[in-house]
Structure 1
């Protein structure tokens, strides 16, 4: 089968350009055989490759990336490695308590694994155990915080509710009315992290970058064909999120939703004093369609908001030009004390979402496996599902693997053109309802 759509992210991702430079690995040329081939060198693919290499030390693991490591979606998110579950379909945002407890274990396992790797390999990615603020300005958002607090009480997780008068001591800005602080989140520079993970792969992993697969032949072996050759693999793992649909699996089940971010130039010392607050922090909106804000360890401010549905999974320049204006307006509302601060980079990044917020984990076809659909939790969830998939393929079973195998997976979407019409309406309506939190 032909792969009709290939990744094509914009070249203006600030995280990528501000992270340590590395020399990409050469593209694959010619023909080769391998026992294991993994498609996608983001958090999921890198974790799967690393653990397969450790579980099967005598096997050569081939990891294929269509673009360059750190340039794709794993290097474009807001950099939150989230610990807590957050079920937006539940009244208290926790839902079934046993499911929430296992989800928490999954996320914590992903965090712990990343901490170990960053420490062991000296990865410079600004990893900080800063926690996160979930901030609200509208009454609707404040009601969300109160509901989530009740859920966290049920889950017996720590938090601090911070009122309007105290918030400037934390965030500098006087914009927000209330925030719920949870201490367990980790903040990272995502492109720097994923680049560092790629540079620290075991010796029996061969990484090929700039090698987009254009055709696949499935059978007792899978033949991955690209413009300069092919790879014949006994086993294939798909770790390419919504692009897994273009490889013939989970068709019409994942939604490539793009969200957009801008990051400023570094603040001067005087501007840092004018802003005040903590030296680095991250705030997510109470309303899921609102604005995420970060102050980074290198004294920049990041604004992330606005959404688009790109069914082919590829970047579209028109959205960058449209949404940077919204970023400027959101920045001005939150940081009126910094009128001279400008954005240095603006970019978009894809989320592989499902309407039921469920990902896929397990076997897709004979000798074809996948960990797909992180639903916006790629840093922790992508990392741990990649690792656990490799453990499962090694014959291991545990509570977390069994939980993932029991997942129903992404549900079926309506057909086009109803799908695009419905998704676009919901995105527009959600952003409108977010009000001042957008």
Structure 2
């Protein structure tokens, strides 16, 4: 019997969640139920797996379980970038091995295409805009990163535009940055609205249960999942809950639950929009990985995202929120001095599952147990494509991309505590300190 010792419990002030369409959460099951397929985690991976399983097995019931309300958890808390391009931070040109980069590009594009098709077919209102992204730099080391990435994109044959400081205000309003690399393939979304829409348009043979935290698992000839109100008995189980997959007895000490913090401003007035200038919506990612991600949303708000913490139990630390909000304010003021009276309405945290070697897991975890775990910060695209391909693979369908995922060595083993926390916390502290004006 595997006891689940830590359960998701995200903070309440995620702006994306509160500003997305309201919906009625699906009730938890009462008593004991059985199903051929059970999926844990209703984020991008779990939703994609459930949808594709339902298509592959139209006469079987698919049960999808989430410990919280859909759109409230991790999948609804990211910055909303569905990125197409590979970005290997361990390579000198950020592309690395060309064959691997091309395969990762195909995976990301497939994830984008799956999402775009569902959004269009189901008419999901999630502010989806195929408007590209800017990777921007302030300091010399950031400019060097852009130059290196440009060389990698040349090698990969992917389009980009270099935008110098004097031209950037016409794009993003602010004159804060020295240079940016614009790549046209990124899609921006309102992540909580997207997740809610995906959940509410699942096929009829998918049953979704929300606010149903699994507290223990028995891996027998069938998998028995215990929750507060009863048990769910699965012929086959799919884990799509990222770092919480470790709590289910698999891949232990391989994934780092890294939390980032974001603030979302109030809506800009028409006069403030004119003062800011630039395009009506855009997204900026930092050249330095510890810098600030910034967005102007479709509904004219500014998102600031920076600050990191390592939370080994996968749960947020409320004491980090005030410090992060202060940093967001400083970062906002540096970039937008023309908007001195624009305050934040929401500040929240959200987690990533990161592995030391930047590899995820895809495939079979044990008898009757499968998983697609550890998206390494690319949850929207990578979660969608791995969930889709896993559902095909268990149905006997395979191809080039599936074989590539199955060939992965998976996430590396990490050091034991307390050495793990000491090392990760020191790395995060030093990275944020060195980010300088990029933060």
TM norm structure 1: 1.00
Structure 1 Cα separation of the partners of residues 323 and 307 of structure 2: 10
How far apart are 1:322 and its partner, in Å?
1.3
Structure 1 Cα separation of the partners of residues 30 and 347 of structure 2: 34
CA deviation string 1:164-196 (max 9, x = no partner) = 000000010010000000000000000000000
Residue of structure 1 in register with 2:354 after alignment:
353
Residue of structure 2 in register with 1:162 after alignment:
163
Task: Give ranges in structure 2 of 5+ residues lacking alignment.
Answer: none
Q: Secondary structure at the match of 2:166?
A: coil
Residue of structure 1 in register with 2:290 after alignment:
289
Residue of structure 1 in register with 2:34 after alignment:
33
Structure 1 Cα separation of the partners of residues 30 and 328 of structure 2: 42
Residue of structure 1 in register with 2:45 after alignment:
44
Equivalent residues in 2 for 1:360-371 (5 A)?
Answer: 360-371=361-372
How far apart are 1:316 and its partner, in Å?
1.2
Residue of structure 1 in register with 2:145 after alignment:
144
Structure 2 Cα separation of the partners of residues 166 and 322 of structure 1: 33
CA deviation string 1:375-406 (max 9, x = no partner) = 00000000000000000001011000000000
Residue of structure 2 in register with 1:106 after alignment:
107
Q: Secondary structure at the match of 2:182?
A: strand
Structure 1 Cα separation of the partners of residues 331 and 434 of structure 2: 15
Q: Does 1:300 find its partner at 2:301?
A: yes
Residue of structure 2 in register with 1:324 after alignment:
325
Query: How many residues are paired up?
Result: 438
Residue of structure 2 in register with 1:273 after alignment:
274
Structure 2 Cα separation of the partners of residues 154 and 116 of structure 1: 30
Q: Does 1:415 find its partner at 2:416?
A: yes
TM norm structure 2: 1.00
Residue of structure 2 in register with 1:228 after alignment:
229
How far apart are 1:29 and its partner, in Å?
1.1
Structure 1 Cα separation of the partners of residues 29 and 238 of structure 2: 18
Structure 2 Cα separation of the partners of residues 29 and 157 of structure 1: 52
Structure 2 Cα separation of the partners of residues 359 and 110 of structure 1: 15
Q: Secondary structure at the match of 1:224?
A: strand
Q: Secondary structure at the match of 1:142?
A: helix
Q: Secondary structure at the match of 1:165?
A: helix
Residue of structure 1 in register with 2:70 after alignment:
69
Structure 2 Cα separation of the partners of residues 399 and 69 of structure 1: 32
Q: Secondary structure at the match of 1:173?
A: coil
Structure 2 Cα separation of the partners of residues 109 and 376 of structure 1: 17
Q: Secondary structure at the match of 2:257?
A: strand
RMSD: 0.4
Structure 2 Cα separation of the partners of residues 29 and 50 of structure 1: 24
Structure 2 Cα separation of the partners of residues 50 and 235 of structure 1: 16
Structure 2 Cα separation of the partners of residues 320 and 47 of structure 1: 31
Moved over 4 A (4+): none
Equivalent residues in 2 for 1:77-96 (5 A)?
Answer: 77-96=78-97
Structure 1 Cα separation of the partners of residues 28 and 316 of structure 2: 22
Q: Secondary structure at the match of 1:329?
A: helix
CA deviation string 1:22-52 (max 9, x = no partner) = 1000111110111100000000000000000
Q: Does 1:399 find its partner at 2:430?
A: no
Structure 1 Cα separation of the partners of residues 426 and 338 of structure 2: 35
Task: Give ranges in structure 1 of 5+ residues lacking alignment.
Answer: none
Q: Secondary structure at the match of 1:169?
A: helix
